[in-house]
């Protein structure tokens, strides 16, 4: 991976600007609606999560391995709410894309973010066909891409150099990583980012302490290095994982999180996890 000085400058500047915007805009929004809600859904071995702002703007990130996500969305959203403001597919593996396909079939999606890399699976081809069939506005994103939903500010930290139209050696390496700021609270949502990408972000100086970390790749030992955890210092670590033969979450990762006294919540143990974030605090509940 080549270091890109321009990308480094733009990304660092954007992150800093994002944090300033978040602090400045929160007070007025917070006076009207105090709570940002985040769900990490229990979809088995895969990732699916939803952010909902106080103004009921909704961002879905990944969809898990099957149609379970549609049941989970129906549980937390009103029955007549069939529209999502933004859907982000972090990468093309089946445990992330399959549920997104089911969501695209059933919901109106105002905008879709993708990495632009390709895959050889039937699921990926079905995904592209569905986008074309429904005419879903789609954006290929890279580091520095921002979005604002009232007091919620989001920025893409990875990929730095998108490989549009290319078939990567490892789909995980191209995962979309996003950072979200809501007043003094923040979330780092990592997809299946691995240690090589963590190192690049560390070198670029864009990582900072966060409230919530969605641990990369179901707690695989390929992610969540000590240096990474020292930089992001999460107050809470979430692991989306189900029954699997991969050894997820790996004991090395659990030990590192424990070493830094980071509380761990797992969907295989807790079920769907809901986190409510306000200007100066957060709380959580789960379905198990």
CB 179 within 8 A of CB 201: no
Cα–Cα distance for residue pair 229/224, rounded to 1 Å = 6
Q: Given a cut of 90, is residue 201 above it in pLDDT?
A: yes
Q: Given a cut of 80, is residue 17 above it in pLDDT?
A: no
Query: What angle (nearest 5°) sits at the alpha carbon of residue 196, between those of residues 138 and 100?
Result: 30
Sheet holding 86-88, edge to edge: 138-140, 112-114, 86-88, 58-63, 48-52, 36-40, 273-277, 282-286
Q: How many domains does the chain have?
A: 1
Q: Given a cut of 60, is residue 31 above it in pLDDT?
A: no
- Which pLDDT value is given to residue 155? 96
Domain range for residue 263? 5-286
Question: What CATH number should be reported for the domain holding residue 277?
Answer: 3.60.15.10
Q: Given a cut of 90, is residue 257 above it in pLDDT?
A: yes
Query: Considering the chain, what is the average pLDDT of its residues?
Result: 88
Give me the sign of the Cα torsion angle 63, 64, 67, 72: negative
Q: Given a cut of 60, is residue 16 above it in pLDDT?
A: no
Query: In this structure, what is the dihedral angle of CA atoms 45, 229, 145, 86, given to the nearest 10 degrees?
Result: 30
Q: Higher model confidence: residue 280 or residue 90?
A: 90
């Amino acid at each position: 991976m080549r270091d890109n000085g321009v990308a480094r400058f733009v990304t660092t500047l954007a992150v800093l600007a994002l944090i300033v915007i978040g602090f400045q805009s929160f007070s007025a929004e917070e006076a009207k609606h105090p709570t940002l809600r985040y769900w990490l859904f229990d979809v088995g071995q895969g990732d699916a999560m939803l952010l909902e702002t106080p103004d009921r703007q909704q961002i879905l990130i990944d969809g898990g391995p099957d149609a379970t996500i549609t049941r989970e969305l129906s549980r937390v959203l009103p029955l007549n709410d069939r529209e999502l403001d933004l859907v982000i597919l972090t990468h093309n593996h089946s445990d992330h894309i399959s549920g997104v396909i089911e969501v695209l079939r059933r919901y109106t999606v105002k905008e879709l973010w993708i990495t632009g890399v390709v895959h050889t699976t039937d699921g990926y081809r079905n995904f592209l066909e569905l986008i074309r069939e429904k005419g879903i506005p789609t954006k290929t994103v890279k580091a520095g891409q921002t979005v604002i939903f009232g007091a919620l500010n989001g920025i893409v930290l990875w990929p730095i150099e998108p490989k549009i139209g290319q078939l990567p050696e490892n789909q995980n390496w191209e995962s979309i990583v996003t950072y979200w700021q809501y007043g003094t609270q923040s979330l780092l949502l990592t997809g299946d980012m691995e240690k090589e990408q963590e190192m690049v972000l560390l070198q670029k100086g864009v990582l900072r302490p966060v409230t919530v970390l969605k641990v990369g790749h179901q707690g695989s030992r390929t992610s969540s290095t000590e240096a990474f955890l020292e930089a992001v210092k999460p107050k809470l670590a979430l692991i989306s994982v189900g029954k699997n033969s991969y050894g997820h979450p790996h004991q090395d990762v659990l030990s590192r999180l424990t070493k830094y006294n980071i509380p761990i919540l797992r969907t295989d143990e807790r079920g769907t996890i809901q986190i409510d974030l306000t200007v100066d605090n957060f709380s959580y509940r789960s379905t198990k």
